[in-house]
């Protein structure tokens, strides 16, 4: 229980509180004037005041969230115009920014298996791979193999040994009903690290080049499990500007979190995980409030509404056991001239239940790493750090 719960016991006639395990706790008593910033602040994220307490007391992550409470929270966020939920292929899809549409189309192609392994990496699998039951699906259609060089521009594919190990760990977690923490440890974090290590976003050998790394937040109870962040070395010219911005903030963080490993590492992609087939609504809520806080933080850092710049969306992934999904948030102007967050869902990426699915996930992870390196980081360096 939050320390505030005991001081303010529930009384008859008052609206019920939202009290969710695994989710940021948006206050249901926010006024009609609530906007993205106030909702994010009520969830323990700093968006308006550098001296705000970032880490509000939170419960340990469990798996017994109430569907009724979660549905109520999502509905409340919608009614208060804090977050809107829309489908990529819904009737309002025409308002999806062009850059996001382009990325979604590429991810949908990844999910279809289009060019998910380069001809070079296919040859590295060995001549016997086509007869291996685990890898036969890769040889089932010529569309899976890219001969144009496009796949290689994202990075190298996983080796046969690496894919086999990921499949074995994922099967163990699924069949033996492992916890979310075990999935994160043995499958999700491992697959993300492998993909990033082989990504062209991290292939530059120069010591002053920024890198896209994985951050693990689940142990810190920060409501998402992983993220991609930009690791800016001390020798990078932008590092001095980044340090200066951090020194101007009382909590010393470039992000909307006080998690020590991320204080000076800009978050560029968020990842929330759940067990197979469970807690989709909770994942949506956690992701949307976290990204709402990130938008508000970026507004403050940039000194203006970010939507007025070239950053059109913030991407995220939601993982349920084997299955990986892409979602994203944009900003929308409300009638009262304030902004609300729009969460777009969902595009299936792939599954760690098959070798083909693993290659699909790796392709998309490397595609997103490339976006972080070539789109988000240059924008951040220019608009936030005033560098470059």
In this model, does residue 54 exceed pLDDT 90?
Answer: no
Query: Any idea which residue has 């900003």 for tokens?
Result: 331
On whether residue 375 sits in a domain, the answer given is yes
On whether residue 194 sits in a domain, the answer given is yes
Determine the Cα–Cα distance for residues 388 and 374; give it in Å rounded to an integer.
14
Determine the Cα–Cα distance for residues 36 and 332; give it in Å rounded to an integer.
11
- Other beta carbons within 10 angstroms of residue 221's beta carbon come to 15
Longest dimension (CA), the chain: 72
What 3-state DSSP class applies to 273? Answer: strand
Output the pLDDT for position 39.
45
Full residue range of the structural domain in which residue 373 is found: 84-383
On whether residue 63 sits in a domain, the answer given is no
Say if strands 314-320 and 323-333 run parallel, antiparallel, or are unpaired. antiparallel
Output the pLDDT for position 304.
79
Output the pLDDT for position 220.
57
Say if strands 211-216 and 226-231 run parallel, antiparallel, or are unpaired. antiparallel
* Average pLDDT of the chain to the nearest whole number: 83
5-14, 58-67, 79-88: which range is least confident on average?
5-14
Q: How many structural domains is the chain composed of?
A: 1
For residues 366 and 165, the answer to whether their CB atoms sit within 8 Å is: no
Determine the Cα–Cα distance for residues 368 and 366; give it in Å rounded to an integer.
5
DSSP string, 181-209: HHHIIIIIHHHHHHHHHTBGGG----TT-
Which is more confidently placed, 132 or 61? Answer: 132
For residues 218 and 61, the answer to whether their CB atoms sit within 8 Å is: yes
Confidence of residue 207 (pLDDT cuts 50, 70, 90): low
How many C-alpha atoms does 159 have within 13 Å on its Cβ side? 4
On whether residue 11 sits in a domain, the answer given is no
Confidence of residue 142 (pLDDT cuts 50, 70, 90): very high
Rounded mean pLDDT of 251-260?
93
Output the pLDDT for position 70.
57
Beta bridge partners of 83: 341
Confidence of residue 1 (pLDDT cuts 50, 70, 90): very low
Output the pLDDT for position 48.
44
The whole-model pTM stands at: 0.84
Output the pLDDT for position 69.
57
């Amino acid at each position: 229980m939050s320390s505030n719960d005991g001081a303010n016991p529930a009384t008859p006639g008052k609206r019920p509180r939202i009290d969710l395990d695994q989710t940021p706790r948006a206050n249901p008593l926010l006024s009609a004037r609530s906007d993205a910033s106030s909702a994010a602040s009520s969830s323990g994220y700093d968006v308006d005041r550098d001296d705000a307490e970032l880490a509000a007391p939170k419960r340990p992550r469990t798996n017994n969230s109430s569907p009724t409470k979660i549905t109520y929270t999502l509905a409340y966020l919608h009614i208060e115009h804090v977050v809107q939920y829309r489908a990529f292929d819904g009737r309002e899809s025409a308002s999806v920014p062009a850059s996001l549409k382009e990325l979604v189309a590429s991810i949908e192609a990844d999910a279809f298996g289009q060019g998910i392994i380069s001809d070079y990496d296919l040859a590295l699998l060995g001549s016997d791979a086509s007869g291996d039951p685990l890898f036969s699906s890769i040889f089932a259609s010529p569309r899976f193999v890219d001969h144009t060089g496009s796949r290689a521009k994202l990075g190298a594919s996983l080796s046969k040994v690496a894919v086999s190990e990921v499949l074995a760990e994922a099967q163990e977690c699924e069949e033996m009903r492992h916890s979310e923490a075990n999935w994160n440890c043995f499958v999700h974090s491992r697959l993300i690290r492998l993909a990033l290590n082989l990504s062209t976003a991290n292939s530059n050998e120069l010591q002053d080049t920024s890198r896209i790394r994985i951050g693990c937040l689940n142990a810190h109870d920060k409501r998402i499990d992983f993220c991609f962040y930009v690791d800016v070395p001390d020798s990078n010219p932008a590092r001095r500007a980044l340090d200066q911005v951090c020194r101007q903030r009382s909590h010393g963080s470039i992000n909307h979190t006080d998690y020590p490993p991320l204080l000076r590492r800009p978050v560029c992609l968020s990842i929330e995980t759940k067990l197979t087939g469970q807690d989709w609504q909770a994942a949506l809520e956690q992701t949307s409030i976290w990204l709402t806080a990130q938008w508000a933080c970026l507004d403050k850092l940039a000194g203006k509404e970010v939507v007025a710049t070239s950053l059109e969306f913030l991407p995220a992934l939601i993982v349920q056991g084997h299955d990986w999904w892409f979602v994203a948030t944009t900003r929308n102007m409300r009638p009262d001239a304030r902004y609300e967050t729009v969460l777009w869902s969902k595009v299936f990426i792939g599954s760690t239940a098959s070798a083909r699915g693993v290659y699909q996930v790796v392709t998309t992870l490397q595609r997103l790493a490339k976006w972080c390196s070539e789109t988000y980081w240059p924008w951040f360096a220019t608009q936030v750090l005033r560098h470059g």
